[in-house]
Amino acid sequence: MKFNSIRLRLAFSYAAIALLATVSLGLVLYTVLREYYDNQEARYLQESAMRVGIVASELMEKNVPVPLIQDQATSWSFFLQARVRIEDASGRVIADSGVPNNQQLILYTSGTPSRVSVPFSETVPMVPPGSFSIHIVQKQSVPVGEGEQVKDFVVFGREAAGVTVAMPADDSMYGLFRAGDAGVLVRRSSQAVAQRIINERGVVLGALILSDGPAYGDEILHNVMNGLVVAGVIAVLLAAFAGWFFSNRITSPVVALTQITSRMAAGDLTARANVRGNDEMGMLGLSFNEMASRVEEVVGTLRSFAADAAHELHTPLTALQTNLELAREEKNASNRTLYLSRAQEQSQRLETLVSSLLDLSRIESAEVKSRFEQVDISKIIHEVAEQFASRAEQSNRIFRMEMVEGELETFGDAMQLRQVFVNLFENAIKFTQPNDVISISAAWVEGKIKIKISDTGIGIPTEDLPNMFRRFHRGRNVSELSGNGLGLAIVKAIIQRHGGDVQVASEGVGRGSEFVVTLSARL
């Protein structure tokens, strides 16, 4: 299948839309979550700094030795899972825990450091007493202030220094990071907070800086983004499949129409689309079939017209050629003149036939409507009737006219409508005998203009009535009279272009005929 086919393009379009939606959702989700967790990580460090700052102030106020402050910073780092730095008033770093990368708490006995794993759920017994000893007791509930809720703390102290240290166990967004937990933090927050260490008298003793705290937000974001990527891939695949499925539903009728048009292009004018339904494709199939029927009708008409025109043109051309050849070989001047006169008649017949064919072609084209305007039918009929009333009187025909009072207005081409009545009056005079009656009447009938032109002439054979408006058709009882069989075809074409109708009626040969023209006030 070609890449530029509608099916593939729709499938790729669906997939592209799904991909754009996934990427947009991912960007928005990442931005919102990133901002949220950045704020939470900063808040966690700020609250921890406030609590640790109180204890650090107590240590520095009592001039606890720097190594012990370093040990304490390491312990805080363990519990907070953050880097703890303490500076003195001059800005010199006196303790730096470094980035916490283990789960052990540093304890001292007699000044000798040892690393002891401290499970949070167990009571840690007192270490052997020494000059500087630390003991850790089980988590306890202690009040944190008037009007505040009781918090859970891990309490440990240094006997010799007389210092008691309390660390929050669950008063944070992450809770206490306990020894023995399976997960070891590998991601660190980029947030950092600094807080001054002030004693009870308001003297600045130094500064506390917390950084490299737990970045569970990164882990969550990483998992969310991974899940979003998987969901995006699935969404794109499903969208591509849906696009392919719906494109098949949409393009199948188009492919069927393409095959039908190919058959028509190959000459099969009977081909029709088998597209059903009430949607746009069903309407397209219906319109195509109507167009195909119209094309078949037009082509059939053109073929018939070409055959009829060839036949009609062949007779005068043959007669013209024959008379010219006879005139060329004739020695007698009188006979030569006769042959040339007959040739001229055939030439005039050809000219009239070609002119009528051109008129019919122009009438059937859409361009005729470009000259439409409001016209008065009664005025046109009076003008044409005056000419033919004189001819009827000269040839002993009786001409009668009955017109309704007032205007009979319609929308159309005055010249074309004039030609309709000229042709009908011409036929009425041609196909009547002296003392026959020619009548015309016009009136409003049910909101339409109805014009009747009747005569008591030679009439029309019953079997000829259905074909009277066909090109080149002439009644079998008028073969001896001049004509080319296009006059009534021109009348029919003009009236149809004006949205009207024309009918013919006759009781048979010798009983006259009647033509009824119906026109609307507007198209």
pLDDT at residue 516 greater than cutoff 90? yes
Question: Which pLDDT does position 440 carry in this prediction?
Answer: 92
- Phi, psi for residue 34 in degrees, rounded to 5: -60, -45
Mean pLDDT of 97-116: 49
* Domains of the chain as residue ranges with CATH: 7-220 (no CATH), 263-299 (no CATH), 304-366 (1.10.287.130), 369-520 (3.30.565.10)
Instruction: Provide the pLDDT confidence category of residue 511 given band limits of 50, 70 and 90.
Output: confident
pLDDT at residue 119 greater than cutoff 60? no
Of 15-29, 56-70, 113-127, give the lowest mean pLDDT range. Answer: 113-127
Question: Could you give the CA distance from residue 21 to residue 343 in angstroms, rounded to a whole number?
Answer: 84
pLDDT at residue 304 greater than cutoff 50? yes
Question: Which pLDDT does position 312 carry in this prediction?
Answer: 66
Question: Which pLDDT does position 189 carry in this prediction?
Answer: 82
Mean pLDDT of 160-177: 40
Output 204 or 107, whichever has higher pLDDT: 204
Give the CA dihedral 35, 38, 44, 48, nearest 10 degrees: -140
Mean pLDDT of 250-265: 79
Question: Which pLDDT does position 3 carry in this prediction?
Answer: 53
Question: Could you give the CA distance from residue 262 to residue 267 in angstroms, rounded to a whole number?
Answer: 9
Question: Which pLDDT does position 128 carry in this prediction?
Answer: 35
Of 88-102, 121-135, 385-399, give the lowest mean pLDDT range. Answer: 121-135
Beta-strand pair 204-211/83-88:
antiparallel
The most confident of 243-252, 306-315, 363-372, by mean pLDDT: 243-252
Question: Which pLDDT does position 121 carry in this prediction?
Answer: 34
Mean pLDDT of 70-83: 84
Question: Which pLDDT does position 507 carry in this prediction?
Answer: 84
Q: Which of 470, 479, 363, 487 is nearest to 426 (CA)?
A: 487
Mean pLDDT of 354-376: 70
Question: Which pLDDT does position 517 carry in this prediction?
Answer: 93
Query: Within a 10 A sphere around the Cβ of 366, how many other Cβ atoms?
Result: 7
Specify the DSSP element, H or E, that contains 432. none
Q: Which residues contact 219 (CB under 8 A, 6 or more apart)?
A: 187
pLDDT at residue 522 greater than cutoff 80? no
**Predicted TM-score of the model (pTM):** 0.45
Question: Could you give the CA distance from residue 232 to residue 227 in angstroms, rounded to a whole number?
Answer: 8
Check if the beta carbon of residue 446 is closer than 8 Å to that of residue 399.
no
Output 309 or 119, whichever has higher pLDDT: 309
Question: Could you give the CA distance from residue 487 to residue 360 in angstroms, rounded to a whole number?
Answer: 9
pLDDT at residue 395 greater than cutoff 90? no
Q: Which of 408, 400, 463, 407 is nearest to 432 (CA)?
A: 400
Mean pLDDT, rounded, of the chain = 76
Burial code (b: 16+ CB inside 10 Å, e: under 16) for 491-505 equals bbbbbebbebebebe
Question: Which pLDDT does position 177 carry in this prediction?
Answer: 40
Mean pLDDT of 341-363: 77
Express as a percent the part of the chain with pLDDT over 70: 77
pLDDT at residue 114 greater than cutoff 50? no
